[in-house]
Amino acid sequence: MKKAKIYKPSKTAMQSGFKKFDKWILEFITEDPGRNPLMGWESSSDTYSELKLEFKSKDLAIEYATKNGLNFEVVESKKRKIIKKSYSDNFI
């Protein structure tokens, strides 16, 4: 049985907005990657590790995983803690 991880991607440090982060990603987990004897790189014969499926909601991703008999884990994103500050707080 294939293992998968369902998560909502977080923004990188180079991005300021949240426009493109309303999708959920289903990513397959490779159990035992091996080493390529020629180049020494990490490789695998499992081509599912190259797939990242995008869904509009978490429910659609879970529905897809259960329909296809996947073992999945949902990783919830952490909520951002916003502390409102005033400019004058710098001088107190």
Separation CA 72–CA 65 (nearest Å): 7
Q: Give the CATH number for residue 4.
A: 3.30.160.190
Tell me: the pLDDT tens digits for 2-26?
889 999 988 777 777 766 678 999 9
Tens of pLDDT, residues 50-90: 889 999 999 999 999 999 999 999 998 887 788 888 888 88
The domain total for the chain is 1
Q: What is the pLDDT at residue 18?
A: 66
Range of the domain at 27: 1-9+22-32+44-78
Structure-derived torsion over alpha carbons of residues 51, 55, 59, 65, reported in degrees to the nearest 10: -20
Residue 54 belongs to some domain of the structure: yes
pTM here? 0.71
How far apart are the C-alpha atoms of 20 and 64, rounded to whole Å? 22
Name residue, tokens 């991703």. Answer: 61
Counted residue by residue, the chain has a size of 92
14 is a domain residue: no
Q: What is the largest CA-CA distance in the chain?
A: 63
* Residue 71 within any structural domain of the chain: yes
